[in-house]
């Protein structure tokens, strides 16, 4: 149940686009089904396209049918759809915002209550500035307690552009009103990292350089760039995934215990991690970062085109679709423990996981014959698609001789809770409605994560790759990614949940 039940209006700028249809409205619909939305609630869609309310609603219903974890059923959809309206509008024109102010105040009259206002920027980066300037001019976010702005990624293209975007936003609004989305933070398993680490007494004492050998974070995608080639070709894997999602996971794995769960306390502890990441000197980029781009190849029995032949991508594109990095966090807890990060498109599986590998036992007392299949202890945190945690350890094999075998202790969300996890956007939208910024990126966090990757971005921009494409679709990235970790005497753990 909604905790505050405050009358709420969500205005979506760019409501005719994909994000609204695929993510935002399916999430709001699920919140509605579970009774999380306030009784007085409205979704106001704005976009350039001419559409009436009915056309807009049926487009959204299609989105729910196609993309929601629960399909639209006639009665509940009808009740939900009554909360939705649409207006065709030029988002760069001040008159749009004067009309919006009127619409919002009409709701207040109808409800006989002052609603809180959430403004969602589901638009491309070029519209962020005009929309926020107009919102400011129309005084639509004057009430700091009751108006919030939600900003989607990409948040900037590099450190300088992220800084100027932050300056522009914080010049017009208070930082507490700005909700920068990183949807990975809304995933159940990502949030569970905090519960796992800080609600249990047994892991924290061994969560440091004395017991942990290294950490791997893999976010593997089978999809290519689909219809987003135009955007992606100017971004690449480092900007699209590592700067935000993977570095956020790193923060949750490496952060110090928070004193409380207050939003700023958690965000302070995360930003401390980013500040502690060892800066990468330009001359070391080649030893710490690998880039790749997929060529033609086979995946799930189908032949897939090379990245350079995807729609919206330049035929001679230098954009990376795969990136692997080795980072160090320079503090007492993590000194000299490598964190290996990798992500890519058109990899053999769809799966994201964190693998924490522990140091070997200090003394091996078993005979060599007993430990033929000896593996290090590992903690495998599966983020998706199957959500769960696996502890990999040694056990004695049944039989008269002493022989050891690795076995797994497994927890899966599905088995433990017998209920489907909410989508990340459900969690995040409810947090915006309730004014909880814990899972959103603060200005300094965004800038700190850009700072981590800037040396790599700059070096890669200055030196064109000579070997692109360098991995066939359906393989684990370029051979150099294996070398990156093999030169330290280690190897990548491929995502699988031990099925």
CB contact set of 147 (below 8 Å; sequence gap of 6+): 116, 117, 118, 119, 140, 141, 177
Q: Where does residue 14 fall: left (phi above 0), alpha (psi -120 to 50 degrees), or beta otherwise? A: left
Query: Cα(404)–Cα(407) distance, rounded to whole angstroms?
Result: 9
Helix (H, G, I), strand (E, B) or coil at 164: helix
User: Among residues 134, 136, 214, 245, which one is catalytic?
Assistant: 245
H-run or E-run covering 264: helix 263-276
Q: What is the CA radius of gyration of the chain?
A: 24
DSSP letter assigned to residue 278: P
Least separation in angstroms between residue 454's CB and ligand BG6 is: 19
Within residues 84-103, the interface with ligand BG6 by CB under 6 A covers none
How crowded is residue 195: how many other Cβ atoms within 10 Å of its Cβ?
A: 10
Query: Cα(241)–Cα(250) distance, rounded to whole angstroms?
Result: 12
Total residues contacting ligand BG6 (rule CB under 6 A)? 3
Least separation in angstroms between residue 341's CB and ligand BG6 is: 15
H-run or E-run covering 12: strand 8-13
Strand arrangement of the beta sheet that strand 84-88 belongs to: 84-88, 41-47, 8-13, 116-121, 147-151, 178-180
Q: Which residue's CB comes closest to ligand BG6?
A: 240
Residue 240 interacts with ligand BG6 (CB under 6 A)?
yes
Helix (H, G, I), strand (E, B) or coil at 148: strand
Beta carbon nearer to ligand BG6, 6 or 153 = 153
Query: Cα(93)–Cα(104) distance, rounded to whole angstroms?
Result: 17
Within residues 219-238, the interface with ligand BG6 by CB under 6 A covers 221
Least separation in angstroms between residue 240's CB and ligand BG6 is: 5
Least separation in angstroms between residue 174's CB and ligand BG6 is: 26
Beta carbon nearer to ligand BG6, 239 or 326 = 239
Nearest to residue 452, comparing CAs of 244, 257, 186? 244
Least separation in angstroms between residue 281's CB and ligand BG6 is: 29
Within residues 203-222, the interface with ligand BG6 by CB under 6 A covers 221
Active site annotation includes 245 = yes
Least separation in angstroms between residue 221's CB and ligand BG6 is: 5
Beta carbon nearer to ligand BG6, 107 or 184 = 184
Asked if residues 381 and 353 have their Cβ atoms less than 8 Å apart, the reply is yes
Asked if residues 489 and 315 have their Cβ atoms less than 8 Å apart, the reply is no
* Alpha-carbon torsion (470, 235, 273, 426), positive or negative: negative
Beta carbon nearer to ligand BG6, 59 or 153 = 153
Beta carbon nearer to ligand BG6, 155 or 339 = 155
Within residues 281-320, the interface with ligand BG6 by CB under 6 A covers none
Report the DSSP pairing between strands 388-396 and 302-304: unpaired
Output the DSSP codes for 171-208.
HHS-GGGEEE--GGGGSHHHHHHHHHHHS-TTTGGG-S
Helix (H, G, I), strand (E, B) or coil at 62: helix
How crowded is residue 237: how many other Cβ atoms within 10 Å of its Cβ?
A: 26
Beta carbon nearer to ligand BG6, 9 or 241 = 241
Query: Cα(79)–Cα(86) distance, rounded to whole angstroms?
Result: 16
Helix (H, G, I), strand (E, B) or coil at 395: strand
Least separation in angstroms between residue 308's CB and ligand BG6 is: 17
Query: Cα(397)–Cα(376) distance, rounded to whole angstroms?
Result: 17
Beta carbon nearer to ligand BG6, 47 or 423 = 423
Helix (H, G, I), strand (E, B) or coil at 19: helix
Least separation in angstroms between residue 229's CB and ligand BG6 is: 11
Binding mask 120-159 for ligand BG6 (x = CB under 6 A): ---------------------------------x------
Beta carbon nearer to ligand BG6, 189 or 377 = 189
Least separation in angstroms between residue 323's CB and ligand BG6 is: 12
Beta carbon nearer to ligand BG6, 136 or 426 = 426
Phi, psi of 110 (to 5 degrees): -60, -40
Site for ligand BG6, rule CB under 6 A: 153, 221, 240
Residues annotated catalytic, as ranges: 245
């Amino acid at each position: 149940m909604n905790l505050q039940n405050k009358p709420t209006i969500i205005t979506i700028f760019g409501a005719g686009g994909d994000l609204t249809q695929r993510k935002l409205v399916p999430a709001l619909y699920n919140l509605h089904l579970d009774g999380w939305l306030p009784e007085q609630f409205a979704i106001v869609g704005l976009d350039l396209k001419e559409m009436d309310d009915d056309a807009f609603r049926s487009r959204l219903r299609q989105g729910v049918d196609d993309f929601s974890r629960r399909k639209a059923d006639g009665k509940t959809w009808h009740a939900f759809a009554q909360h939705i309206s649409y207006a065709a509008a030029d988002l760069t024109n001040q008159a749009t915002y004067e009309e919006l102010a009127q619409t919002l105040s009409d709701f207040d009259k109808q409800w006989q209550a002052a609603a809180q206002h959430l403004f969602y920027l589901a638009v491309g980066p070029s519209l962020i500035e005009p929309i926020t300037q107009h919102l400011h001019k129309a005084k639509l976010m004057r009430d700091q307690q009751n108006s919030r702005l939600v900003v989607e990624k990409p948040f900037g293209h590099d450190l300088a552009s992220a800084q100027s975007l932050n300056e522009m936003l914080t010049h017009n609004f208070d930082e507490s009103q700005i909700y920068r989305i990183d949807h990975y933070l809304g995933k159940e398993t990502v949030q569970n990292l905090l519960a796992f680490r800080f609600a249990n007494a047994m892991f924290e004492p061994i969560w440091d350089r004395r017991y942990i050998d290294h950490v791997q974070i893999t976010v593997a995608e089978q999809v290519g760039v689909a219809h987003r080639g135009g955007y992606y070709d100017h971004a690449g894997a480092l900007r699209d995934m590592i700067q935000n999602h993977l570095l956020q996971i790193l923060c949750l794995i490496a952060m110090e215990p928070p004193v409380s769960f207050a939003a700023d306390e958690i965000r302070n502890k995360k930003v401390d991690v980013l500040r502690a990441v060892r800066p990468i000197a330009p001359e070391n980029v080649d030893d710490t970062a690998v880039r790749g781009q997929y060529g033609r190849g086979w995946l799930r029995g189908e032949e897939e085109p090379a990245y350079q032949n995807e729609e919206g991508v330049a035929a001679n594109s230098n954009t990376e679709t795969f990136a692997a990095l080795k980072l160090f966090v320079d503090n007492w807890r993590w000194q000299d423990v490598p964190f290996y990060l990798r992500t890519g498109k058109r990899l053999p599986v769809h799966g994201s996981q964190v693998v924490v590998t522990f140091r070997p036992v200090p003394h091996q007392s078993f005979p060599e014959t007993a430990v033929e299949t000896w593996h290090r202890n590992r903690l495998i945190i599966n983020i998706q698609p199957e959500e769960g945690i696996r502890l990999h350890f040694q056990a004695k094999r049944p039989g008269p001789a002493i022989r050891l075998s690795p076995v797994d202790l497994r927890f899966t969300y599905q088995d433990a809770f017998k209920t489907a996890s909410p989508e990340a956007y459900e969690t995040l939208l409810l947090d915006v409605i309730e004014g909880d910024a814990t899972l959103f990126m603060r200005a300094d966090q965004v800038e700190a994560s850009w700072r981590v990757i800037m040396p790599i971005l700059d070096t890669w921009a200055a030196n064109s790759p000579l070997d692109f494409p360098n991995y066939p679709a359906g393989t684990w990235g370029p051979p150099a990614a294996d070398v990156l970790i093999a030169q330290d005497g280690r190897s990548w753990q491929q995502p699988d949940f031990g099925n």
